[in-house]
Structure formats: structure tokens, C-alpha cells
């Protein structure tokens, strides 16, 4: 397989670790992802993973329950650290070299985020796992994915979801839906397609980093995306408007 991207950021939500059966830390999909990342690394792709925490705590949900918003967000960031530790251990089990770095200060359990060291790891085919968000409240891990892509000069952000990509209408409600394979940034804003949070999306647009939304449960999806096959929806600035 010939790859058209060499350095990528994969954003995975915490729910992937929870799996889709509501059993905490059930392993099936995450095992597939690790095998897929292992394949990519063996083929010379440099992979960073940004892990979410939504399977444990999201700031918005907690604050809705009456917890102070900033505290809620710190709890959310700590959730991403828990998931990061879990992910790192799974990579160890598969004998894939990885490095867990946190932007939140939790130095007794993983390294503090350091760009130079992260780039060094990537150049040595070590999978980078970024947790702890950006270390500040009021953001989501989508923004972390975009920031890490900018900082590591990655060529694409790949966001795993439960759906196959971006549809013209909700496929759960309508039958006459179109799955877009390619969109430009303006289309996404104009038609208010749900891709990622707006702060994150604007960052990717301003720094011209393509985003791919794909179904994380589809076997072999990562290698197809990175080879340029039609998988999921790719958003960048060169695609013509949809209308
Ligand atoms: N969070 C934060 N700052 C960050 C990243 C995350 O405060 O830079 C908090 C926020 O409360 C968020 C939670 O951590 O809801 C978990 O992240 P996210 O919701 O992105 O997880 P996902 O939905 O991807 O599993």
C-alpha cells in the first residue's frame, strides 16, 4: 500500500475505550485500532494520538449537574489522563513503542508535554499519546488534536467517530441522505455540519490542515484514509463547494 501522508494525528474519543457496549475498558475496538497503528508505524507513518475522556467525565455534563465549570473541566482532563494510561498499557501489550505525555501536570505517572521530545519520539517511530488536554479548562480534546497537529506539523487530523462520515441529513432520521466524501471548510461552516467543536475546526482551517471524519469501527479504515482512498469525509480548502 502506498501512503500519501507521513505524519498524522488521530483523535479518538473516550467512548472508544468504553466500547459501544457500556462495559468500561472493554477492549475490542481499541485493540483493532492499536493493530492498525502498529501496521502504519511499521510502514513509516508517524502517528500521534489524542485521547478524549468522554467515557468518564465531560466538563459540560458535570457542570450541568452543579459542579463548578472549571473544576468539571479539570476532572474531564484527568479522565483523559486515565484513558491515556490505559492506552499506553495496551500499546505495551502489543509491543508497540509509545510515549504518553500530558499537558496537565501529573508528572508521577507520565511525562510532561514537551514538543522537542515528542518530535524526537515521532522520528524514531514511537507512537505519541497526548493526554491531559491542553492543560486548561474551557477546551475539548478536538482542540488538542488540532493544536498538536499544528505543533508537530502533521499533515492530517483523523477523527474517529461512530458514523461513516458527514451526511447531508441525519441518516438515523432520513433515507435520502448523501455521504460526502469531500467537503471544504466553508461548506462545513455554511451548512453547520457537526465535525468537531468550532474552536478546533477554525484552528484546522486557519492552519490549512485537512480533517478526516471516519467510522472508527471499520476495519482497515486508517490505512485506506492514509493511502488516499475514499473513506469517511475529508475536509480541506481545495475541494469545490457542494452547491
Ligand atoms: N478538557 C478541558 N481542556 C482541554 C481538553 C479537555 O477542559 O484542553 C475537558 C473538558 O471538560 C472535556 C473533557 O476534558 O469535556 C474530556 O474531553 P472531551 O470531551 O474532548 O472527550 P471526548 O468527548 O473526546 O471523549
What is the domain partition of the chain in residue ranges?
7-235
pLDDT computed for residue 241 by the predictor: 56
Which of 3.40.50.300, 3.40.1160.10, 1.25.40.320, 2.30.110.10 is the CATH number of 7-235?
3.40.1160.10
CA 155, CA 211: separation in Å to the nearest integer? 9
- Ligand 1 cavity residues, CB under 6 Å: 13-15, 52-54, 58-60, 72-73, 76-77, 79-80, 133-134, 136-137, 139-141, 144
What is the pLDDT, as a whole number, of residue 170?
Answer: 86
> Cα(131) to centroid of ligand 1, in Å?
10
The string of pLDDT tens digits covering residues 118-162 is 999 999 999 999 999 999 999 999 999 999 999 999 999 999 999
Ligand 1 centroid to Cα of residue 60, in Å, is 9
pTM above 0.85, yes or no: yes
The series of mean pLDDT values per 10 residues for the chain, 243 residues long, is 95 82 61 95 98 96 97 98 96 97 97 98 98 97 97 98 92 91 93 90 96 95 95 86 55
How many CB atoms are located within 10 Å of the residue 115 CB?
11
Looking at ligand 1, which residue's alpha carbon is closest to its atom 23?
54
Nearest CA to 125 out of 97, 89, 153, 157 is that of 97
Question: What pLDDT is attached to residue 20?
Answer: 44
Grouping H, G, I as helix, E, B as strand and the rest as coil, residue 11 is: strand
Rounded to an integer, what distance in angstroms lies between the CA atom of residue 2 and that of residue 197?
Answer: 32
Question: In this predicted structure, what is the pLDDT of residue 142?
Answer: 97
Check: CB of residue 57 under 8 Å from CB of residue 72.
Answer: yes
User: What digits encode the pLDDT tens for the residues 88-106?
Assistant: 999 999 999 999 999 999 9
Give the separation between CA 73 and CA 75, rounded to whole angstroms: 5
Integer angstrom CA distances of residue 160 from 10, 15, 63:
7, 10, 26
Amino acid at each position: 500500500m502506498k501512503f500519501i501522508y507521513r505524519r498524522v494525528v488521530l483523535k479518538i474519543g473516550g467512548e472508544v475505550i468504553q466500547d459501544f457496549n457500556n462495559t468500561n475498558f472493554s477492549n475490542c475496538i481499541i485493540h483493532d485500532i492499536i493493530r492498525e497503528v502498529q501496521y502504519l508505524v511499521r510502514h513509516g507513518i508517524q502517528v500521534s494520538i489524542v485521547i478524549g475522556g468522554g467515557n468518564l467525565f465531560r466538563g459540560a455534563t458535570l457542570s450541568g449537574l452543579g459542579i463548578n465549570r472549571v473544576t468539571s473541566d479539570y476532572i474531564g482532563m484527568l479522565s483523559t489522563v486515565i484513558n491515556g494510561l490505559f492506552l499506553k498499557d495496551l500499546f505495551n501489550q502489543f509491543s508497540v513503542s509509545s510515549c504518553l505525555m500530558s499537558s496537565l501536570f501529573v508528572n508521577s505517572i507520565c511525562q510532561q508535554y514537551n514538543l522537542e521530545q515528542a518530535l524526537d519520539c515521532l522520528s524514531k517511530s514511537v507512537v505519541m499519546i497526548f493526554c491531559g488536554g491542553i492543560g486548561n479548562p474551557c477546551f475539548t480534546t478536538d482542540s488538542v488534536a488540532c493544536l498538536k497537529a499544528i505543533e508537530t506539523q502533521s499533515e492530517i487530523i483523523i477523527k474517529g467517530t461512530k458514523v461513516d462520515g458527514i451526511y447531508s441529513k441525519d441518516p438515523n432520521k432520513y433515507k435520502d441522505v448523501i455521504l460526502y466524501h469531500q467537503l471544504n471548510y466553508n461548506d462545513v461552516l455554511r451548512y453547520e455540519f457537526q465535525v468537531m467543536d468550532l474552536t478546533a475546526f477554525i484552528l484546522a482551517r486557519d492552519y490549512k490542515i485537512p480533517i478526516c471524519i471516519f467510522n472508527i469501527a471499520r476495519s482497515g479504515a486508517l490505512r485506506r484514509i492514509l493511502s488516499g482512498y475514499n473513506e469517511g469525509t475529508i475536509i480541506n480548502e481545495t475541494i469545490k463547494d457542494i452547491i
